[in-house]
Amino acid sequence: MTKMMRAVEITSPGGPDVLQLTERPIPEPGHGQVVLKVAYAGVNRPDALQRAGAYDPPPGASDLPGLEASGEVVAIGAGVSGLALGDKVCALLPGGGYAEYVATPAAHCLPVPDGMDMKQAACLPETFFTVWSNVFTRGGLKAGERFLVHGGSSGIGTTAIQLANAFGARVFATAGSDEKCAACVALGAEKAINYKTDDFVAALRAEGGADLILDMVGGDYIPRNVKALAEDGRLVQIAFLQGPVAELNFALMMVKRLTLTGSTLRPQSDLAKARIAQDLHEAVWPLLEAGKVAPVMDSAFDLAEAAAAHARMESSDHIGKIVLKVSG
């Protein structure tokens, strides 16, 4: 008889209330995969986009939301080496984290860093994979450069501030309240700009311009980012909270020799994600284990309260990460 588990599904595209508890079969590990008994699942903005019908899972992925989790390895598929039953890991998921069990490629699992609990570990994969691959690999951030991250108090922003600071960049952030700006400074930003009262373009130009900008806002931020960049600056676009369409004078790109780029993590190949996991293990896990970088925790909800967790995220009142307690 098929063994069943509790999960949260998206009953139809819509607001937080379409997230409902259900029962689903416990997944089996495919080739190269493990199954985790989920302790905590991280909640991310892309989950809300998926819930609203604006971000479909890639082919073959679970239709259940949830892009990251911490948990214990309870089943191992063929072709997996380096993981054993009972190992405590955190993992980037193709989907399906809002459930008691989830299958994911073994190569996308990382050990729970020494000294970190399962709740914190669940918050690591989505933002650390995204920030590492966009800020350091794609954006090429170097020590001493001026780095601007928008949405500095978000899950992505709090991770980006800490990592850029740890690798010696000068960090600037924008956020929507003085309280959020204070949180950005406490995390290592040299200056945080309340975008509701101050102009980030003027603030960055006063410093000589940004060498790298990580942007999730888009819309009219796109031409303003281009103005805020220094010569040879790079703009890395990871989302469009204000929309993907803008009018842009490309002459500035030519004159300042700018690079405009971007990426999204979920549709990338398993191999590409495995390479990011390897890089993180080598370059970032020692910082987590030394306590030099840590996830910023906002709040935890029970799995059955996933709708309330989404409502909190969409209120934008939160600072840092929101998690679902599954069996932790």
Ligand X SMILES: NC(=O)c1ccc[n+]([C@@H]2O[C@H](COP(=O)([O-])OP(=O)(O)OC[C@H]3O[C@@H](n4cnc5c(N)ncnc54)[C@H](OP(=O)(O)O)[C@@H]3O)[C@@H](O)[C@H]2O)c1
Element (H, E) at 9: strand 4-10
- What's the first-to-final CA gap in the chain, in angstroms? 27
Q: Which is nearer to ligand X, 29 or 295 (CB)?
A: 295
124 touches ligand X (CB under 6 A): no
Among 35, 41, 107, 156, the residue binding ligand X under the rule CB under 6 A is: 156
175: helix, strand or coil: strand
239 touches ligand X (CB under 6 A): yes
Question: Sign (positive/negative) of CA torsion 306, 242, 317, 151?
Answer: positive
* Residue 40 CB contacts under 8 Å (≥ 6 apart), including other chains: 69, 70, 71, 118, 119, 121, 122, 300, 323, 324, 325, 326, 328
Q: What are the respective helix, strand and coil percentages of the chain, to the nearest 5?
A: 30, 30, 40
Among 35, 265, 307, 323, the residue binding ligand X under the rule CB under 6 A is: 265
| Site string (51-90) toward ligand X, x via CB under 6 A | ----------------------------------------
225 touches ligand X (CB under 6 A): no
Question: How does DSSP assign 15-54, residue by residue?
Answer: SGGGEEEEEEEPPPP-TTEEEEEEEEEEE-HHHHHHHTTS
Q: Could you tell me which stretch among 43-51, 78-86, 199-207, 279-287 binds ligand X (CB under 6 A)?
A: 43-51
264 touches ligand X (CB under 6 A): yes
306 touches ligand X (CB under 6 A): no
Where in 45-164 does DSSP place strands (E)? Answer: 68-76, 88-92, 101-105, 109-111, 146-149
Shortest separation between residue 319's beta carbon and ligand X, angstroms = 8
130 touches ligand X (CB under 6 A): yes
Report how far residue 243's alpha carbon sits from residue 221's, in angstroms, rounded to the nearest whole number.
Answer: 10
155 touches ligand X (CB under 6 A): yes
> Which residue of the chain is nearest ligand X when measured via CB?
154
What single DSSP character describes residue 60? T
160 touches ligand X (CB under 6 A): no
Report how far residue 281's alpha carbon sits from residue 287's, in angstroms, rounded to the nearest whole number.
Answer: 10
Q: Which is nearer to ligand X, 242 or 299 (CB)?
A: 242
Q: Could you tell me which stretch among 31-39, 75-83, 203-211, 239-247 binds ligand X (CB under 6 A)?
A: 239-247
216 touches ligand X (CB under 6 A): yes
32 touches ligand X (CB under 6 A): no
Q: Could you tell me which stretch among 14-22, 72-80, 146-154, 288-296 binds ligand X (CB under 6 A)?
A: 146-154
The first and second tokens of residue 237, run together, are 């676009």
Q: Which residues bind ligand X (CB under 6 A)?
A: 44-46, 126, 130, 151, 153-156, 175-176, 180, 216-217, 238-239, 241-242, 263-265, 313, 316
